[in-house]
Amino acid sequence: MNRRNFVRNSSAALAATTLGIPQWLTETQKKVGRIGIQLYTVRDDMKKDPVRTLARLAEIGYQDVEIAGYSEGKFYGMTPAEFKNQLKQNGLSSISGHTQTGADNPKRKGTLINDWESAVADAAALNQKYFICAYLHEFERKTMDGYKKVAELLNKGGEVCKRYGIQMGYHNHDFEFMDLEGQIPYDLLLKETDADLVKMELDLYWVRKAKKDAVAYFKMHPGRFPLWHVKDMENTAEQFFAEVGKGVIDWKALFKERKTAGLKHFYVEQDACRNHQPLESVDISYQYLKQLRY
């Protein structure tokens, strides 16, 4: 080691020791990176005042918002151009958005079964890169044949998305991991959908609720999970939603596997908040993730 490198390394070690941080930690631990928010968490605030709510999320520090309020050509009541302008004013982007199959209301446009291309075009107008099927109604998931039809629909939707430079995806709850006709529906969706056309947005809370191992899925299907939903779980029998860092999920262990998963973006989401107002809850989650090292 030459004199210059010795001095530099000695200085770094001294600084780390002074701060009470072992040198190896300063060299090997990484930040989780850009932190996004799923707007479903603050849905009531977005309904009342989307402009102010977006501004508040930006003040907290969020940089990316995942849409949960697209309907028939409008984002939270705004045209794509209007909503894009609101994002720009707050220094926000929207890389991903949610949709549903539309099977519960076939007349509604902009769903996977009705005028899908218009919805994809609107997503492209926001510069989105992912369009995610967020939920299946109970009647859509009663049988494995029902799940096969969903897989076919996702593949077709993915073909349209590909023409616009967008990636189709699927977001899970816990029911996809429950035994149905001797099979696990989530495994069928992974198998029956084209791995290039359809990626997965893994909701890590629901995987834990279903008593499944997220890391095992990462290793079985490396690169298939570019998006995550990050939400925590109370250490109670009810296993209610918790702010990130306030529950039982080991986030350091999960983020260590981000390369195996293929993670590109992740979104804080808390389906229901009962100890704090939603904007307070997402602030708590952000502050935890901001300092998290893995």
Q: State yes or no: pLDDT of 168 exceeds 50.
A: yes
pLDDT in tens, 70-119: 988 999 999 999 999 999 999 999 999 999 999 999 999 999 999 999 99
Pairing of strands 241-242, 232-233: antiparallel
pLDDT in tens, 215-264: 999 999 999 999 999 999 999 999 999 999 999 999 999 999 999 999 99
Q: State yes or no: pLDDT of 12 exceeds 70.
A: no
Q: Rounded distance, CA 13 to CA 47, Å?
A: 51
Please check whether residue 227 is in contact with residue 130, taking contact to mean a CB–CB distance below 8 angstroms: yes
Amino acid letter, residue 59: E
31-291: which CATH architecture?
A: Alpha-Beta Barrel (3.20)
Q: What is the pLDDT of residue 28?
A: 60
Q: What is the mean pLDDT of residues 8-28?
A: 48
* Domain residue extents for the chain: 1-30, 31-291
Q: Rounded distance, CA 292 to CA 294, Å?
A: 7
Measured over all CA atoms, what is the biggest interatomic distance in the chain, rounded to whole angstroms? 74
Q: State yes or no: pLDDT of 17 exceeds 80.
A: no
Q: What is the pLDDT of residue 29?
A: 79
Two structure tokens written together for 178: 């429950």
Between 50-60 and 278-291, two packed helices, what is the crossing angle to 10 degrees?
A: 30
